[in-house]
A and B are shown apart, each in its own frame.
Chain A
Amino acid sequence: MSSNISPELTGKRVFISGDEAVAEGVRLARPNVISAYPITPQTIVVERLSEMVEDGSLDAKYIHVESEHSAMSAAMGVSSVGARAFTATSSQGLLYMAEGVHYASGGRMPIVMMNANRSVALPWSIYGDHRDSMSMLDSGWIQIYVEDAQEALDMIIQAYRIAEDPSVLTPIMVNLDGFVLTHTYEIVEIPPQVDVDSFLPIFQTPNKMSLEKPKSMGFSTSPADNMEFKYQQHMAMLAAKNIIETADKEFEDLFGRSYGGLVDSYNCDDAEIVLITVGSVTGTARIVVDNLRLKGIKAGLLKLRFLRPFPDVEVRNILKNVKSIGVLDKDISFGFEGTVFTNVNSALSHLPKRPLAVNYIGGLGGRDISVSDIEGIYNELIEITDIGKVEDSTRVRYINMGVEIDD
């Protein structure tokens, strides 16, 4: 039995997986062309989309590309003529199309891509962590990390709105944690198509090939001009911050759901210890914060929803009076530290007085991060606050290792 959601159900609540929620969001966003190659744990997204194309509930062309590199290349072809493109991938596939990822952002093509966060070989692992998307942080794409299936659906729709804004014209990667979010089921509200249509107009752009105004696109530059194009990209990504906030507010007005914009801060106003998270692990952390608050501990949680553009202003404002922070990275830049930690610390370096900061590396290759793991982190943050400093050698800590390691 197909769990395809027929259009009569829009405006209804259904019990679907994260991947299926993405497919629903895509259908509502009305892409013109889908080009995708299957890779675990993204496969359900592209399977559902092919069913929607087959039964006519999604009026799009579906290109069965023969590789991920071609998936992005085809999506760029679609975007270059002014049509709305969608693709999805994960891990090895994201890296196989890496050339195209840079190409699309440099080409100012507002493509939306879902990425199922999955560990990158070697060793092989089909399970989730953030190493794939973190390795593409400098590629010029806006990067969103969603916490649950509802946010996944909603952010696919918002992604097109943000990406296609004339001041932005930057592609967007919507990240879902592999398996723990892509394959788990929740109640999700499917917004009505007519409401989505009023939120997300038909894609219009001057940056396209057409018969009225033929263009030369994707050209070469000499050293005399290249930096200026890169500067433009950087400024557009910064301009996206305003559009992100506006989109969140307008989405709330129309659909009744707000996600806080660039970040979502939970109990941070008077917090002394704060954990910074990215993605679905935030849901687990919320439970821990609630428990700690019941015990009178001033714990807070800061969910970074966007890693690019980086919410440096928000990070500084929210954390400036916090005593100790932990940053939970499901990635590691070997030889240094987790990438989220590096980004957060750089933002905090502007403050005259900064919280103590510890990096927690966890969840690699699908390693579980439990309520007790997170409680353990907060307990350490309390200790660190008492001690008043963090040793250099213990700034980066691996959690939930399955074996003893020598400290």
Chain B
Amino acid sequence: MIKPELQTYKIPKHISDYPTGPSYNAGHLVSKNAGWRTFKPVVNLDICTGCYQCYLLCPDGAISKTTNNKIQFDYDFCKGCGICAHECNFKAIEMLKEESSK
């Protein structure tokens, strides 16, 4: 795994479905954080220089590098904090209001 991944959580039906003691496989995610957002970041790839400052400073690791040296957002896990847009020296990222219909 390159990062923790979403899995389908099988709700335990029998006591043996639980792990022994409070220990579990690392990197097992069952829920997204997308629903936290009011605003979502959108990048203008023509302006983006691939400096990766936004990638560096995202507290959630929700920005990743693309194969052509730009960036992309993982909208499942972006909380819309706006640090990326605020810190971008080139104003390549805009925070747009999340659509009310989901």
Contacts and interface: CB of A to CB of B under 8 A. Distances in A.
Interface of A: 106-108, 169, 206-207, 213-219, 221, 225, 228-229, 231-232, 235
B25 A107 contact: no
Interface string B1-44: 00000000000100100101111111110000000000000000
18 contacts: A107-B21, A107-B23, A108-B23, A169-B21, A207-B20, A213-B25, A215-B24, A216-B23, A216-B24, A216-B26, A216-B28, A217-B23, A218-B23, A219-B22, A219-B23, A219-B24, A229-B22, A231-B15
A268 B21 CA distance: 40
A403 to B, nearest CB: 50
Contacts of B21: 106-108, 169, 207, 229, 232
Nearest to A105: B21
B22 A107 contact: yes
A218 B26 contact: no
A164 to B, nearest CB: 13
A228 B12 CA distance: 10
B15 A169 contact: no
Given A106-B21, A107-B21, A108-B21, A232 B26 contact: no
B18 A225 contact: yes
Contact of B26 (A215, A229, A235): A215
Nearest to B14: A228
| The 3 A-B residue pairs with the shortest CB-CB distance in the complex, in nearest-first order | A108-B21, A214-B26, A217-B23
B22 A106 contact: yes
A229 B18 CA distance: 8
Interface in B48-88: none
A68 to B, nearest CB: 23
Interface of B: 12, 15, 18, 20-28
Contacts of B25: 213-216
A217 B27 contact: no
A302 to B, nearest CB: 34
A219 B24 CA distance: 8
A228 to B, nearest CB: 5
Nearest to A214: B26
Of the listed residues B12, B26, B27, B28, the one surrounded by the most CB atoms of chain A closer than 10 A to its CB is B26
Contacts of A207: 20-21, 23
Nearest to A108: B21
Contacts of B27: 214
Given A228-B15, A232-B18, 17 more contacts: A106-B21, A107-B21, A107-B23, A108-B20, A108-B22, A206-B20, A207-B20, A207-B21, A207-B23, A213-B25, A216-B26, A217-B22, A218-B23, A225-B12, A229-B22, A232-B21, A235-B15
Contacts of B26: 214-216
A218 B22 contact: yes
Nearest to A219: B22
B14 to A, nearest CB: 10
A219 B25 CA distance: 11
A231 B20 CA distance: 11
